[in-house]
Amino acid sequence: MGKVFQCPDCGYQYDEDLGDEHEGYAPGTAFESLSDDFVCPDCSVRYKEDFEEVAS
């Protein structure tokens, strides 16, 4: 089971099992492996290090 990370501002969730097809992250892509420049795809005002792991 992959982990799920959530944007603390807008609630966008990155589910490692699903990836994010629109953004070009294949299913199974670990959150850790995303670029350090990753910003929330929905609100763009929270950086990768701001994301919080939530129960999947």
Partner 1 sequence: MKQYTLATNSGEITYTDRKRYLWLASLFYALFPFVGIGAHALSGNELWLALPLFIAYGMGPVLDWWLGEDENNPPEEIVPLLEEDPYYRTLTMLTVPLHFASLLGAAYWAGTQNLSWWGVLLLAVSAGIANGLGINTGHELGHKKTQLERNLAKIVLAVPAYGHFCIEHNRGHHRDVATPEDPASSRMGESIYKFARREIPGAFRRAWAVEDERLTRKGLSVWSWENEILQSYAVTFAVQISLIAAFGWIMLPFLAIHNFLAWWQLTSANYVEHYGLLRQKEASGRYERCQPHHSWNSNHKYTNLVLFHLERHSDHHAHPTRRYQSLRNFEDVPRLPNGYNGMFPLAYVPPLWFKVMDPRLLALPHIDGDITKVNVDPDEKERLYEKYAPAAGSDGGAENEAEELTNEAA
Pick one of 27, 30, 47, 56: the residue that binds partner 1 (CB under 8 A).
Answer: 47
CB of 45 to partner 1, least distance (A): 6
Q: Which amino acid is at 22?
A: H
How far apart, in whole angstroms, are the C-alpha atoms of residue 21 and residue 36? 19
**37 vs 55, beta carbon nearer partner 1:** 37
Residue 53, strand partner residues: 5
Q: Binding of partner 1 at residue 23 (CB under 8 A)?
A: yes
Residue entry with tokens 């950086």? 47
Query: What tokens appear for 8 in the block?
Result: 């603390």
Residues of this chain that bind partner 1 (CB under 8 A): 9-10, 12, 22-25, 39, 42-45, 47
